[in-house]
Amino acid sequence: MVGAVAPIVRGYVAGRYGQVHYRRTGGDTAFGKPVLVLLHQNPSSSLEYVPLMQALAADRDVVAFDTPGYGMSDAPDAPLSAAGYAACLIEAIEALGLAGALGCDVYGYHTGTVLAAEMAIGRPDLVRRLMLSGIPMRTLDDRRVRLATAVEAPDLDEAGEVALGMARGLWDYVVRKRPAGIALDRAAALWVDKLTPLARAQWAYQAVWGYDFEARLPLVRQPVLLVQANEELKPHSIAAALLCADTTIIELDRYDRDILVLPDAIADLVPLIRNFLG
C-alpha cells in the first residue's frame, strides 16, 4: 500500500453474553456508503482482517467483529447455533448505530459466511449486500462426521495434552506451512490468535457443521458476490453460493488459501469489493 497506514480503533459494545469486541477504521469520515461489516473464520478473530481493513479505509467505514467466544469477545455459556451467533452480531451492529438509513454490507470468510447468511436472512432490512469466500457446505455425510467430532472435542486437561496438541497442529498449518509472502512474526501472531479460544475452539464449528445449508441459503435474497480461492472447499463453496437467489462468482485461482493476509491477494480483492459494493 502507498501512503500512511490507516489507524484501526478497537472497542467493545455490550451484548447479551457480555462484551463484543470490534476493530474499526474509516469511521471518522462520512463516506455516504453503507458500513462494511467483516465476519472472520473459526477459530480466528477480527485480527485476520486488519490488512484488508487498512486497504479499504480510504473510502469506506469498515468494522470487523470478534464472534462471541473468539478473539476478545466474551463467550456464551454454551455453543450457539449459527442464528444465535448472528443475532448477537446484529445486536452489536445496532448498538453501534452502523446500519442507519443505508443498511450495511457484510463480508464473511469461511465460518463467517454462515453467520453472514443468517444475518441476511434474519434482517433483510439491515443487510444490503453479501460478499462471501469459502462457504463450508461439504457433503451431508462429511458434515455429520465433523459435527460429531466438534461436539465430542475433549476438554482441557491438567497435563496440557489437549492444549499442546492444538498448539502444535496450528503451528504446523499457520506458521510452518504458511504461503510465501507472510512474515514469520505475522504468522505467529495469527497462530496465537487461533489458540485464544482453547476449549471453545470447536463451538462455532458445531454451528457450521449443524447448519442446514440446503434449506437456509435459498432464503438469502440479497445480491451475493462469491470471491473464491482455489482451495479444497472451492466446489462446495460454489455449489452453496448458487443456492442463493442472486449470486455472482469470481474465482481467484492464483491463491489456494489465506486471501485475507496475503498482500497480493488483498490487492486483487479490494477492487472486487469496491466494484460490487459501490
**What backbone torsions phi and psi does residue 268 show, to the nearest 5 degrees?**
-75, -35
* Banded pLDDT at 99 (limits 50, 70, 90): confident
Q: Is 258 left (phi over 0), alpha (psi -120 to 50) or beta?
A: left
The three cell numbers locating residue 110:
469461511
Distance CA 63, CA 38 (A): 6
Local confidence band at 101 (pLDDT 50, 70, 90 cut-offs): confident
pLDDT > 90 fraction of the chain, expressed in percent and rounded = 90
Section 125-150 average pLDDT = 98
* Domain spans in the chain, listed from the N-terminal domain onward: 9-138+206-277
| Residues 6 or more apart whose Cβ sits within 8 Å of residue 265 | 229, 252, 254, 255, 258, 259
Q: Mean pLDDT, the chain, as a whole number? A: 95
**When comparing pLDDT for 4 and 84, which is higher?**
84
pTM, whole model, 2 decimals? 0.95
H helices of the chain, in order, are 50-56, 82-95, 111-122, 140-151, 161-170, 184-195, 203-209, 213-216, 234-241, 263-277
C-alpha–C-alpha distance, residues 252 and 269, integer Å? 9
Identify which of 205, 247, 240, 258 has the alpha carbon closest to the alpha carbon of residue 135.
240
At 2, is the pLDDT very low, low, confident or very high (cuts 50, 70, 90)?
Answer: very low
Label residue 13 exposed, middle or buried (CB < 10 Å: 0-12, 13-18, 19+). Answer: middle
Residue 214: C-alpha distances to residues 136, 209, 249, 256 (Å): 12, 12, 18, 25
DSSP 18: E
Average pLDDT of the segment spanning 139-158: 97
SS3 65: strand
Torsion sign (Cα): 4, 175, 107, 246: positive
- Mean pLDDT along residues 170-199: 95
How buried is residue 62: exposed, middle or buried, by Cβ count under 10 Å (0-12/13-18/19+)?
buried
User: pLDDT tens for residues 219-258?
Assistant: 999 999 999 999 999 999 999 999 999 999 999 999 999 8
Phi and psi for 20 in degrees, rounded to 5?
Answer: -105, 125
Q: Under CATH, domain 9-138+206-277 is a member of which superfamily? A: Alpha/Beta hydrolase fold, catalytic domain (3.40.50.1820)
Nearest Cα neighbor of 193 from 106, 115, 260 is: 260
